[in-house]
């Protein structure tokens, strides 16, 4: 634990880790103990556990997205940038700590679309869809809006499969994304000259 961190930062860090690993139903006592913060302090910093769930998800969201987003070395075509997301997911599923997409996991646990945590989860999932959409538009894809949704669903399905089967994806998500991109007319350079 970072002793330089404020109680609020310690709570957000502990919540991010414990909610991802153990689920959002973990007790407040265990959460406060892990953060080294009293329950009284927690409720002074956050109005409710629901607020802490939402803020901790918003806190971990950018780092999770950064692990997925393509870097400058991850291809210069829209197809390669989209596939980089699936390659990064493939690498993430090979790690022992992978527990699936934190946004999907949280929303599924909460089951309430109006819960503040569900609202945060939806925001971050929309950002992924918007990333796909931007790349698909740049590539001149057929039905970019529909394809962006399909790619997001492929991502979520691949992520869930890795958790349910407790094993790395081994490229299956990448191949599924390639198939979707081919169908949308976003082909690899060597296939681009072929008829759709």
Locate the domains of the chain by residue range: 1-46, 61-183
DSSP summary character for residue 3: T
Residue 96: predicted pLDDT? 81
Architecture of domain 61-183: Orthogonal Bundle (1.10)
Q: Which two tokens stand for residue 144?
A: 């970019």
Residue 71: predicted pLDDT? 77
**Helix or strand holding residue 121 (H, E):** helix 116-139
Residue 1: predicted pLDDT? 54
Tell me if the pTM is above 0.85.
yes
Architecture of domain 1-46: Orthogonal Bundle (1.10)
What end-to-end distance do the CA atoms of the chain give, in Å?
Answer: 55
| Residue 131 banded pLDDT, cuts 50, 70, 90 | very high
């Amino acid at each position: 634990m970072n002793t330089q961190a404020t109680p609020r930062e310690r709570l957000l860090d502990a919540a991010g880790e414990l909610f991802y690993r153990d689920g959002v139903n973990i007790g407040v006592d265990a959460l406060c103990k892990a953060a080294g913060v009293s329950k009284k302090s927690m409720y002074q910093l956050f109005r409710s556990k629901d607020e802490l769930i939402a803020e901790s998800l918003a806190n971990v969201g950018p780092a999770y997205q950064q692990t997925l987003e393509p870097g400058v070395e991850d291809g210069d075509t829209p197809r390669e940038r989209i596939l980089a997301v699936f390659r990064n997911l493939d690498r993430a599923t090979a790690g022992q700590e992978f527990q699936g997409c934190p946004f999907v996991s949280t929303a599924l646990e909460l089951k309430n679309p109006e819960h503040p945590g569900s609202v945060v989860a939806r925001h971050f999932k929309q950002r992924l869809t918007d990333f796909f959409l931007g790349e698909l538009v740049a590539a001149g894809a057929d039905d970019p809006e529909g394809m962006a949704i399909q790619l997001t669903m492929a991502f979520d399905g691949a992520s869930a499969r890795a958790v349910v089967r407790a094993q790395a994806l081994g490229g299956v998500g990448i191949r599924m994304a390639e198939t979707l991109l081919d169908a949308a007319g976003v082909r690899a350079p060597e296939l681009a000259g072929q008829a759709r």
